[in-house]
Structure formats: C-alpha cells, structure tokens
Amino acid sequence: MQDCGVINREPNKTKSHYSIGIGNGRFRDKSQYDIDAGKGKPGTTIFGNVAYELFNELSVICDWNGVNLNAGVSKAISLGDKSAMVVTVGVADLTDNSGCGARLIGGVGAGIML
C-alpha cells in the first residue's frame, strides 16, 4: 500500500485534525473598545481549527475563534507509556478584528493515562 502522506502509518492515525462549530459567548466576545472602534458586535459565529503533524509529533496549528486568527506550533514529548507533555508556541490575533494587534502566546500541558 502506498503512503499518501496523510496517514502516519506507525500509530495508524491521521496526520491532520480539524474541528468546526457555531456558537456565541467566547467565540464572539467583543470589548466595548472594539465595538466603539467599529469592529463588530457580539453575536453568533462560525469557529474552527486545523492542525497537521509535520513529523515526530510536531504539529502546525491554525485556529479561527470567530473573531481572530491564531497560528502556532505544538510539540508532544512522551514521558513514558502513560504520560506526555505538550509545549505550544504561537501568535494570536493575526487580524485587526479585535485587540491591539498580534501577540505571542504559549502553553504547557500534561496528560496522564489512568
């Protein structure tokens, strides 16, 4: 069988992941500053994200939260058979729909399988 590059054959999982939804609340929050500046009103919107594993659990991520575009990279680090740590670095607010411009973001997370 030929490897088309979308399936990571070792764990037999896809290299690409996505989600899409519709909602309000955090997905369409606007500060009074944004509303006064003519950058829209609170309401219901479409949101989603896409991620693609480049290699060795290093993924590129793009996220539309209904207001702004965010992008980054994420690396999973195995800490044994039942635990892992994930480090993410990115840039948020890549559009001028809210806030004062792009900003650097980061995060660290851990998972433990019971």
**9-59 pLDDT tens trace:** 566 677 888 899 887 765 566 666 666 766 666 667 788 999 999 988 899
92-96 LR contacts (CB < 8 Å, sep 24+)? 92/68, 93/68, 93/69, 94/68, 94/69, 94/70, 95/67, 95/68, 95/69, 96/39
Quote the domain boundaries for residue 105. 7-112
- Residue 11 forms part of a structural domain: yes
pLDDT of residue 85: 92
pLDDT of residue 74: 95
pLDDT band, very low/low/confident/very high, at 70 (cuts 50, 70, 90): very high
- Residue 1 forms part of a structural domain: no
pLDDT for residue 1 is more than 50: no
Q: How many domains, in total, are found in the chain?
A: 1
- Residue 2 forms part of a structural domain: no
Note the pTM of the prediction, 2 decimals. 0.68
- Residue 108 forms part of a structural domain: yes
From the list 50, 48, 46, the residue with the least C-alpha distance to 62 is 50
23 vs 62 pLDDT, higher one: 62
pLDDT for residue 109 is more than 90: yes
